[in-house]
Amino acid sequence: MAKIRKTASIEKGIEEVVKILSEEEIQQAIGKSISYLRKCSDPDQPQQIDHNDSFKLDKACIEKDKAPPLLTAHEYMISQEFEKLDPDKTKNINDMLVKFTILHGKLAELITKAHDPESDKGPEISPLEQKEINEAITALENKILKLKKAVDIKKS
């Protein structure tokens, strides 16, 4: 029976990597087998992935135009530590979803404006537009991490 991994854990990130990359791609990226990764993804095993290997695997995922699952897991774990510093922050998922929707709308608006023929460089994205889009993506990613944490809290 498949083991359930905690959302946004390193083990879950490794599980996602195994879904994204083929056995050959994993071997090329880190010089280790898929069975090694499966052992690392088992939350009941002491086997842990090396930081350099996790970077190389995320890089291979990015090269396949996929989000880096291990980076996302790491960011989530760090955000949990920051949350411990301020326990009075709201955990209201509905408020988070509203803010997420606003941030998503802002990102969509920035991208649409950047591709507008009347923008700075026409349909080509200017460096300033790229910077604004990247900031909007980061804000959205941060909100996603907070949502993941809130969902984990509700499960407990």
Confidence of residue 153 (pLDDT cuts 50, 70, 90): low
Domain ranges of the chain: 10-78, 90-155
Report yes or no on whether pTM surpasses 0.75: no
pLDDT at 48 over 50: yes
Distance in Å from the first CA to the final CA of the chain: 22
Higher-pLDDT residue of 96, 15: 15
Greater pLDDT, 94 or 86: 94
pLDDT in tens, 100-137: 888 888 899 889 888 888 887 888 888 888 999 999 99
C-alpha to C-alpha distance for 32 and 37, rounded to whole angstroms: 8
Distance of CA 22 to the CA centre of its chain: 20
